[in-house]
Amino acid sequence: GENVEQHPSTLSVQEGDSAVIKCTYSDSASNYFPWYKQELGKGPQLIIDIRSNVGEKKDQRIAVTLNKTAKHFSLHITETQPEDSAVYFCAASNQDNQGGKLIFGQGTELSVKP
């Protein structure tokens, strides 16, 4: 089955710097890759997603890149702000399979220092 590895587990940056979180997946049939942000006391919220027919997607300060050959995808946050501090989860699934079960990475705790 699918396995998703996420690095780093913790990341501390200064406000205004960029942050990069990387994930690798094992199942070459996976074709949907969402990223979730979970703030303390809240549920995960989708911040961006990418499908395997696209190499890069950007939404304001957030971008995701996908390398299908290497089976890895990354989240890039530019001009970080204290409110970006949260736990970020990557995930992968094969949307062509019945159920399309999401497999999550272990999470990255991002701390943005003012």
Partner 1 sequence: DTEVTQTPKHLVMGMTNKKSLKCEQHMGHRAMYWYKQKAKKPPELMFVYSYEKLSINESVPSRFSPECPNSSLLNLHLHALQPEDSALYLCASSMGRLDSPLHFGNGTRLTVT
Interacting residues with partner 1 (CB under 8 A): 32, 34, 36, 41-46, 49, 51, 87, 89, 95-97, 99-102, 104-107, 109
- Three-state DSSP class for residue 114: coil
Residue type, 76: H
CB of 16 to partner 1, least distance (A): 27
Q: Measured from the CB atom, is 99 or 114 closer to partner 1?
A: 99
Strand partners, 7: 22
- Three-state DSSP class for residue 83: helix
Map tokens 């549920």 to a residue: 43
Q: Measured from the CB atom, is 18 or 45 closer to partner 1?
A: 45
- In degrees and rounded to multiples of 5, residue 60 shows phi and psi of 60, -115
CB of 39 to partner 1, least distance (A): 10
CB of 93 to partner 1, least distance (A): 8
